[in-house]
Amino acid sequence: MPAAAGSAHPAQVLLGAQAGAVVLPVCDHYSGVEARMRKSLALQAEMAAEFGACVFDVTLDCEDGAPVGGEAEHAQLVVELARGAAAGLRVGARVHPVDHPAFEADVATIVGGAGDRLAYLMVPKVETAADVARAAAALDAAGASALPLHVLIESPLAVHHAFDIAAHPRVQSLSFGLMDFVSAHAGAIPADGMGAQGQFSHPLVVRAKLAIASAAHAHGKVPSHCVVTEFGDTEAMRQAARRAAREFGYTRMWSIHPNQIRPILEAFAPDEAQIQTATQIVASAQDADWAPISFDGTLHDRASYRHFWQVLMRAHATGRALPPRAAAWFTAGDAATT
């Protein structure tokens, strides 16, 4: 006899070995200039109210945002802004690389002053797992032993070590640093390899993107796609985001301009038809106590149920409206959905 609609939660039944997999907002928005950081945080709050969920992270940037000689003051500003962010919203910070003179001070100031308000710390130019261990030790020393690390893969050597980096238990997400990756090849990759179209066709760039996505998925981490610098070209942004999501296995993407946030959300969100189909299949599976079912003449079992549950997770994370049955799976107090 079919199980009732309130039986075992899909996440409990379906995630299995992926139960610890990380789910993050699909957009990571970067800003490093004070006025833009403040506007980004205000926009984050506005869009959270609009969508009913925090649909993008804000990363306050020290690496590119801090003026030379003003690193300490900029870190203090990041603390102020992080502490002033609206409750329930996700804010991270990007510090300087582990071999930069300001790294330890960045961590001590930002994590020491706002560690309880940060969702993660982004560390750029990570080359090996040893760099991750050094960053984790700095977090521990600052009293934030539970704060996740996000890391930037920006060189051929880092790509080579991507699986080892992703395996570190403190790493939550791997981002691809396109601009530095191209520059690291000493002119061997032409400049158009950094463009919205060229980055999807040059073999070395494509290989790096796929390696990073594969390493992240192998260890249940989130692969985050690189920037599109043509921020005034909405269509180029939309196409790049679609390719990143549909062809390259990325589940998150960087934004460097407010105009890029909505195209990223649209590209990474399931459409209405996908949401409806996923809801019907997962609901039918739940009613069948997770036994195999036939849906529109196609056999489905737990492997496909898992896929359609993950579709619904992405829909929820991008603020999409869900049918009542699916919405109930994500209500407060329900079983864990990640």
Q: pLDDT tens digit string along 189-210? A: 999 999 999 999 999 999 999 9
Alpha-carbon span 70 to 49, nearest angstrom: 35
Residues 6+ apart with CB under 8 A from 235: none
Tell which residue, 269, 230, 262, 279, has the closest CA to residue 246: 269
CB 42 within 8 A of CB 76: no
Spatial separation of the C-alpha atoms in residues 250 and 161, rounded to whole Å: 18
Across residues 117-146, what is the average pLDDT? 97
Q: Which pLDDT tens digit goes with each residue over 283-311? A: 999 999 999 999 999 999 999 999 999 99
Q: What pTM, to 2 d.p., does this model score?
A: 0.89
Residues 6+ apart with CB under 8 A from 255: 27, 28, 29, 30, 56, 227, 261, 264
- Dump pLDDT digits (tens) for 252-262: 999 999 999 99
How many CA atoms does the CB half-sphere of 311 hold within 13 Å?
21
How many whole angstroms separate alpha carbon 11 and alpha carbon 19? 8
- 71-84 and 34-51 are packed helices; what angle lies between their axes, rounded to 10 degrees? 20
Q: Are 306 and 14 in contact (CB under 8 A)?
A: yes
Q: Mean per-residue pLDDT for 274-286?
A: 95
- Residue with tokens 């191209």, as numbered in its chain: 182
The Cα–Cα gap between 104 and 109 comes to 9
Model confidence at 337, pLDDT cuts 50, 70, 90, reads very low
Q: How far apart are the first and last CA of the chain?
A: 28
- Which helix (H) or strand (E) segment holds residue 136: the answer is helix 129-141
**Mean pLDDT of the chain, nearest integer:** 92
pLDDT for the residue numbered 5: 47
Whether 1 has a pLDDT exceeding 70, the answer reads no
pLDDT of residue 294: 95
Domain extents in the chain: 27-268, 271-331
What pLDDT is stored for residue 331 in this prediction?
83
Q: Confidence class of residue 231 from pLDDT cuts 50, 70 and 90?
A: confident
Residue 13 has pLDDT above 50, yes or no: yes
Per-residue pLDDT at 21: 60
- Confirm or reject CATH 3.20.20.60 for domain 27-268, answering yes or no: yes
For residue 20, pLDDT beyond 80: no
